[in-house]
Amino acid sequence: GENVEQHPSTLSVQEGDSAVIKCTYSDSASNYFPWYKQELGKRPQLIIDIRSNVGEKKDQRIAVTLNKTAKHFSLHITETQPEDSAVYFCAASKDSSYKLIFGSGTRLLVRP
Amino acid sequence: SAVISQKPSRDICQRGTSLTIQCQVDSQVTMMFWYRQQPGQSLTLIATANQGSEATYESGFVIDKFPISRPNLTFSTLTVSNLSPEDSSIYLCSVERRDRGYNEQYFGPGTRLTVT
């Protein structure tokens, strides 16, 4: 079955710097790759996702890149702000209507 | 955006008892998913609930321990049976929705279960 590895487990950056979180997946049939942000005591919140027919997607300060050949995808956050501090999870799936397999999570701390 | 509610939001239960968690969505959805998030950990899928058929369980999760009902396209329940302290977790439901013009998965607020 699908396996998703996520790195790093913790990431500390200075406010205004960029943050990059990387994930690799094992199942070449995976086509849907969402990213979730989870603040303490709250539900995972979908922040961006990408499908295998594109290599990059941007939404304001957030971007996701996908390399299907290498089976890895990354989350890029530019101009980080303290409110970006949270745990970020990547996931992989065959489709958005299918089960999600999650990475282990990255705790991002943005220092003011 | 999708309105997904769960009841209860939290509960403290005694060992050996059961807890039933409800997930309600504001519109009809085909698939509903139940996840477990143990303290400080990632999310693990328990089962997929289809309306009108038996739930599909992931490896390591069995129907006797986690019975699921899906009586209609807006509602599902997950029961955690014969509770032990190891069942202390957050349980979340998720659904596929098309709120931003394309299909995505959204989560309910979760149910925090503590077993004493």
Mean pLDDT of B45-72: 93
User: Which of A94, A96, A98 is the best residue to mutate to test the B interface, defined by the most B CB atoms within 10 Å of its own CB?
Assistant: A96
Q: List phi, psi (to 5°) of A88.
A: -110, 135
Number of helices (H), then strands (E), in chain A: 0, 11
For A3, which residue in chain B has the nearest alpha carbon? B44
pLDDT 10s digits, A53-81: 889 999 999 999 999 999 999 999 999 99
More confident residue, B99 or B51: B51
Band the pLDDT of B52: cuts 50, 70, 90: confident
Cα angle B21, B25, B29 (rounded to 5 degrees) comes to 115
Smallest Cα distance from B105 to chain A, Å: 6
Q: Note whether A100 contacts B48, CB cutoff 8 Å.
A: no
Asked whether the beta carbons of A78 and A26 are under 8 A apart, the reply is no
**Distance of alpha carbon A84 from alpha carbon A4, whole angstroms:** 23
Q: Which two tokens stand for residue B74?
A: 């807006």
Between A54 and A35, the more confident residue is: A35
Asked if B108 is an interface residue toward chain A (Cβ–Cβ < 8 A), one would say: yes
Written as one string, the DSSP assignment of A35-87 is EEEE-TTS--EEEEEEETT-SEEEETTEEEEEETTTTEEEEEE-S--GGG-EE
Q: Is B73 on the interface with A (CB under 8 A)?
A: no
Q: Residue B10 has which token pair?
A: 């939290």
Question: What was the pLDDT predicted at B56?
Answer: 94
pLDDT over 70 (residue B2): no
Q: Which chain A residues are closer than 8 Å to B30 by Cβ?
A: 97
- In terms of DSSP bridges, do strands B111-115 and A101-102 run parallel, antiparallel, or are they unpaired? unpaired
Residue A102 C-alpha, separation from nearest chain B C-alpha, in angstroms = 6
Report the C-alpha gap between A107 and A11 in whole angstroms.
6
